[in-house]
Amino acid sequence: MKQETEYERRLNRHYDELKWLYCELYENGMSFFEDLCGKMQKKYKYRKKELKELDRKREKNPEWYKGNDMVGMMMYTGAFAGNLKGVESRLDYIEECGVNYLHLMPLLTSPKGKSDGGYAVADFTKVQPELGTMRDLSHLTGACHEKGISVCLDFVMNHTSEDHEWARRARAGEAEYEQRYFMYNDDTIPREFEKTCPQVFPTTAPGNFTWLEDCRKHVMTTFYPYQWDLNYANPVVFNEMTDFMLNLTNQGIDVIRLDAVPYIWKELGTSCRNLPQVHTIVRMMRMICEIVCPGVLLLGEVVMEPEKVVPYFGTVEKPECHMLYNVTTMASTWHTMATKNVALLKHQMDIVSGLPKEYLFLNYLRCHDDIGWGLDYDFLKQFDMEEVPHKKFLNDYFQGYYPGSNSRGELYNDDPKLGDARLCGTTASLCGIEKALAEQNSGLLAQSVEAVRMLHGYMLTQSGIPVIYSGDEIGQCNDYSYKEDEEKAADSRYLHRGKFRWDLAEKRTEKGSYQYDIYQSILSMEKIRKEHPVFLNKADVWTVETYDPAVLCLIRVYGDEKLIALFNFSNEEKTAWIQEEGMYTDLLTGSEREGTNVVMKPYDILWLMNHKL
């Protein structure tokens, strides 16, 4: 009886709005809505006792994920430890890294050679066989929860693999399954879509439709020909995909990463991006989780500038995603490393800092994907940085072609005509460690380690949740072995998706090794961050002019704590010409110094604290 009361309480809270939104989206859809409610109740019924207890605990503390103690790490299961059981056997290492938010990259069944790194799902109910089983996943999340670690998993909701049962049945001519996709007998409607719908990969996967010779039909494939876009105008698609999502949450997944969420609603005559119906769907998913599994968070993958990202938080009264990625700052950070000019970064930090403190962003330096140069070129024009030549400069710089560059990276989806290539590489290789090791240049190695340290310090200074890319904590360099694998050779993103180097991880405790310097400095900064409330999302944050183009100054204030955070993005000694009166303690070294005209070493980071507010 208690369980029924609990479920009914949550359902009643959202029922009217959920029903209204559903029936507005799907006219005459009451029977489908009742089907959805049945699926929800069934998933609640079979949710494990310990997960329900975790839900209740988090319901009482709805901001449990907003603390300054949150540190994330993202990894490929196979690359890190072979399989899910291997990851579980390495949880002590993950815990030692200070990590309590673990993002496992896509691991559901997808066809070899046509998986797009796991983003072409053939079965939402099964794990890729070489990685384990759903039982293994459930056992891993249980072990993580015992250590206070939350687990994030991608939910690829825009499309399925062409090998998915739905796609195979649609291809065979079953009308019910054809209606779950966008399939057409001729190119009349596809040509209309192409007039207004931009291409995602114009070079490697041009167009938004693929011709299927065997069944003589066109199918919408926004990303790659083997990824068929789902038709969310069909309520069956929404109901079934929601059921798949709830199945994942019942395996103990705490954070559902909504992949490519802006694309999920398609409509003729539009760009098929960010349409109002997308927000209706995300809002319904939020309510469904709050009914069935309120301890679960939604993380939106929205690769756009802040003003287009923010609507995915929803409103205070009608929230959508709990968290979003801070994509713009990541790209701008690497732009700053190349240009040694913090103006764009300062500008964008001012925008992000001006947003409501309820908004939570995930901050990162590198991830599984490439670095796309979607910068604010209207702002950069004042510095004579035009889009196409500037992108070429950045790509030349990070490939090591530009004078003075120590970076080692590779291009992805290179389009010489548009100058729209993206960049691949690990943090260590882009900062110069790879080159320093190859040349046995100890001076360059020390400088590159300082750059890696400074960048992680900058990430840890931002409001939100810092997310480390697995391998960055030990300075892991590019892995060129992907070129020898014919299934991966054409995708340069595998440059930074190499196997985790456990031999390098062993050196994290060896004083004198660069692995020790990077690992211990990140751990030290994480510890300091957890100890000081000034790093909370609730802090006031603003930038201060330093009068040196290479030095960024962030000020954080909360309670009686004031932090001046300074970052030198150049390989030369600089002075931050700031005038913050008083004496400050450098949290990183313990030294005392004044807050005026601060001298900084190359790639230096300072966390100056004053308690006398």
Across 233-250, b (16+ Cβ under 10 Å) vs e yields: ebbbbbbbbbbbbbbbbb
The alpha carbon of residue 124 and the mean position of all alpha carbons in its chain are separated, in whole angstroms, by 21
- Catalytic residue annotation: 259, 301
For residue 83, what are the β-bridge partners?
none
Spatial contact of 366 and 472, defined as CB atoms under 8 Å apart: yes
* Long-range CB contact pairs, 241-244, < 8 A, 24+: 241/124, 241/157, 242/36, 242/39, 242/40, 242/285, 242/288, 243/39, 243/43, 244/124, 244/125, 244/155
Which residue's structure tokens are 């494939």? 221
Which residues lie closer than 8 Å to 315 by C-beta, 6 or more apart?
A: none
* Neighbouring C-alpha atoms within 13 Å toward the C-beta of 126: 11
The alpha carbon of residue 119 and the mean position of all alpha carbons in its chain are separated, in whole angstroms, by 14
Helices 235-249 and 30-45: crossing angle in degrees, nearest 10, is: 10
- Map residue 41 onto helix, strand or coil: helix
Spatial contact of 167 and 230, defined as CB atoms under 8 Å apart: no
Which residues lie closer than 8 Å to 494 by C-beta, 6 or more apart?
A: 479, 482, 485, 488
Helices 30-45 and 276-292: crossing angle in degrees, nearest 10, is: 40
What are the two backbone dihedrals, phi and then psi, of residue 108, each rounded to the nearest 5 degrees?
A: -80, 160
